[in-house]
């Protein structure tokens, strides 16, 4: 078993960090990336600036591997765009890992060799098999799933399922922060509805408000499932991640300037076509529209479908590992800094299978890169048999403003709102 590779699914920041830690431990990583390049998901939001600085975006083991290859670290206080993070860090890191990274390799299944999920006898003596699209099977000693959640955006429907008519209107609905400047012709002078209360929604609102300032015919409606509440704009000047605090202040200014109309308590139930546009109907019968475009920026969720033949222990609410869920569940705490956690919270009943990175958070919206880097350091130590290092988790996160995502911003008016770390791509120039 020790001669087999550790398969890492996903060549994003956390997956590549896992590979770098495996190399330092003398283990064999094999990173399988579904996309055509390292950091493929990050490259999709290349126009977005992060609220995390470079000092919070570079994994220590990855830095050592890169610097040995002649890489020079950027200014630690600078806040890169997705493009700079992908092109200036993830692509060079994948190059430093060499043939340990395979692109255009989509994993479609993981199982215990010769055993489906039900079979007990002999299970502990068999390695894992990783099924790759096209029929290839790779035998592995462990699998680290760092595939993220980018491919599974939440729908517009307030009940977690697609609203009536949502799929039929897919040509007018976007689920990720658009490059408004790069697609100005699509949005200028148009009517746009933005659904969502997290940092992705704030980012889009700011870009659209700037556009409305240049093209007065542009009308922006912001749909909030609850609220409105001051917390929807974040921590402002009190946020210890200044770029994130500035994001909320700019969104507040856009609303006050009249560029954005706020519709509170709107839970989308249906999408209807009307007069060449779309009308959104809420659960209580109210209607918004017609609008020309809808941005459903309501977060992401993990896809566990290709892990159906391994034994996972997942929280029924978040879809996160059961031991991790209480530490991150926005329904039962006000976030604060995330407690250090690692292999102990991330292991499953299936030995050698770990979910890390944003996928480990399930539907919780508060993931930071620093959290993922400590996760994989601990997980790799456990795979290597170094239980002491695996258990010695430590994580220093900056005290921050208020949470992003539905957990806090869906709180009833007057509910307590605390501090926490937010998602990765959040601030725009």
Domain map (residue ranges) of the chain: 6-151+300-398, 167-296
Q: How far apart are CA 167 and CA 172, in angstroms?
A: 10
Does the pLDDT at position 412 exceed 80?
A: no
Alpha-carbon Rg for the chain in angstroms? 22
Of residues 335 and 248, the one with the higher pLDDT is 248
Residue-level length of the chain: 429
- Ordered DSSP codes for 67-123: HHTT--PPPTT---BHHHHIIIIIHHHHHHHGGGEESS--EEEEEETTB-TT--TTG
What is the per-residue pLDDT for 285?
92
Superfamily of domain 6-151+300-398: FAD/NAD(P)-binding domain (3.50.50.60)
Does the pLDDT at position 401 exceed 50?
A: no
Angle (CA) 97-102-105 rounded to 5° is 155
145 close to 355: Cβ distance less than 8 angstroms: yes
Dmax (CA) for the chain in angstroms is: 69
60-68 vs 369-383: helix axis angle to the nearest 10? 80
What is the per-residue pLDDT for 248?
60
What are the b/e assignments for 312-333, b being 16+ CB within 10 Å?
bebbeebbbbeebbeebbbeeb
Confidence bin at 232 (pLDDT 50/70/90)? low
The rounded percent of the chain whose pLDDT value lies above 90 is 58
Mean of pLDDT over the chain: 84
What is the per-residue pLDDT for 88?
95
Do 6-151+300-398 and 167-296 share a fold? Answer: yes
What is the per-residue pLDDT for 329?
82
pLDDT digits (tens, 9 = 90+) for 99-129: 999 999 999 999 999 999 999 998 989 999 9
- Cα-based distances in Å from 45 to 154, 175, 181, 403: 17, 12, 13, 21
What are the b/e assignments for 96-108, b being 16+ CB within 10 Å?
bbeebbeeebebe
- Out of 225-229, 241-245, 361-365, give the one with best mean pLDDT: 361-365
Q: What is the fold of 167-296? A: FAD/NAD(P)-binding domain (3.50.50)
pTM across the whole model:
0.85
What is the per-residue pLDDT for 397?
63
Confidence bin at 231 (pLDDT 50/70/90)? low
């Amino acid at each position: 078993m020790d001669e087999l590779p550790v398969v890492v699914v996903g060549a994003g920041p956390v997956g590549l960090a896992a590979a770098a830690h495996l190399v330092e431990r003398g283990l064999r990583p094999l990173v399988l990336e579904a996309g055509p390049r390292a950091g493929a998901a990050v490259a999709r939001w290349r126009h977005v600036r992060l609220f995390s600085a470079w000092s919070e975006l570079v994994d220590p083991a990855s830095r050592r591997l890169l610097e040995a290859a002649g890489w020079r670290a950027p200014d630690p206080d600078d806040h890169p765009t997705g493009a700079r993070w992908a092109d200036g860090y993830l692509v060079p890191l994948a190059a430093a890992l060499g043939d340990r990274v395979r692109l255009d390799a989509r994993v479609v299944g993981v199982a215990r060799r010769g055993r489906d999920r039900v079979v007990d006898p002999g299970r502990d003596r068999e390695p894992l098999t990783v099924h790759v699209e096209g029929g290839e099977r790779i035998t592995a000693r462990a699998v680290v799933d760092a595939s993220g959640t980018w491919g599974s955006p939440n729908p517009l429907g307030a009940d977690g399922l697609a609203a009536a008519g949502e799929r039929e209107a897919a040509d007018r609905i976007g689920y990720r922060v658009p490059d408004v400047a790069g697609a100005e012709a699509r949005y200028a002078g148009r009517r746009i509805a933005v659904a969502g209360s997290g940092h992705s929604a704030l980012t889009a609102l700011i870009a659209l408000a700037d556009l409305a300032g240049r093209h007065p015919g542009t009308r922006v409606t912001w749909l909030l499932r609850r609220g409105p509440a001051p917390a929807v704009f974040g921590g402002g000047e009190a946020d210890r991640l200044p770029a994130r605090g500035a994001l909320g202040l700019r969104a507040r200014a856009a609303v006050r300037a009249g560029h954005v109309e706020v519709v509170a308590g709107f839970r989308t139930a249906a999408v209807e076509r009307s007069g060449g546009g779309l009308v959104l109907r809420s659960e209580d019968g109210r209607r918004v529209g017609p609008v020309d475009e809808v941005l459903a920026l309501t977060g992401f969720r993990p896809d566990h479908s290709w892990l159906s033949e391994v034994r996972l222990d997942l929280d029924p609410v978040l879809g996160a590992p059961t031991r991790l869920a209480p530490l991150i569940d926005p329904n039962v705490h006000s976030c604060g800094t995330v407690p250090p956690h690692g292999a102990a919270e991330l292991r499953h009943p299936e030995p050698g299978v770990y979910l890390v990175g944003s996928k480990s958070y399930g539907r919780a919206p508060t993931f930071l890169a620093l959290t993922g880097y400590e996760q994989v350091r601990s997980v790799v130590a456990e795979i290597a048999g170094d239980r002491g290092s695996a258990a010695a988790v430590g994580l220093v996160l900056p005290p921050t403003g208020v949470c992003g995502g539905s957990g806090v911003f869906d709180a009833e008016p007057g509910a307590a709102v605390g501090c926490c770390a937010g998602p990765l791509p959040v601030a725009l120039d």
